[in-house]
Amino acid sequence: MARSSIKTIRILRETAGRIASGAPYQWGHMGSCNCGHLAQTITTHSKGDIHKAAMTRYGDWAEQLRDYCPESGLPLDVVIDRMLETGFTRNDLAHLERLSDPDVLSTISPTPKALRHNVRDDVVLYLNAWANLLEKQLLDHVSLQELQTESVQTTAVLLDA
């Protein structure tokens, strides 16, 4: 599962918001499908640039992720590098393309029969559920006691200065 961080949560919510607000969505287009939209958010490349990068090798996102090689220098592998550096895993991205991560799906209430991987509203629902899950995981690791102790120590250091 992706690293629980403010950055990954923000990226997921930004991607969901862009899709929900009517950005071009086409599941069969490598730059405007589920992973393509996430790649747009992370890299700021256009959907056309991402699609063009994907066309240098065969296959959809699942095949591209399976064949990914960080040393290849292929344009889409460079895009995937950026996505991985941000905290996502290849498995996360494969699940995103099919809206299939069981941990994410288990947080959606009421539990849908099945999300359709190529339906805009289902993609938005999945991205927001994923962001909520990561946010919960992040907050579960925050200790108010630790924050209060750090705050007291910081205040003491500032007063001594």
139 burial (CB, 10 Å; 0-12 / 13-18 / 19+) is exposed
List, for residues 142-155, the tens digit of each pLDDT value: 766 655 565 555 55
What gap in Å lies between CA 109 and CA 16, rounded to an integer? 18
Q: 């592998």: which residue's tokens?
A: 77
Output the CA torsion 88→89→94→98 (10° steps). Answer: -40
Contact 127, 16 (CB under 8 A): yes
* Position 141 pLDDT exceeds 90: no
**Host H or E run for residue 23:** none
Q: Which of 87-91, 118-122, 143-147 shows the lowest per-residue confidence on average (mean pLDDT)?
A: 143-147
Q: What is the mean pLDDT of the chain?
A: 88
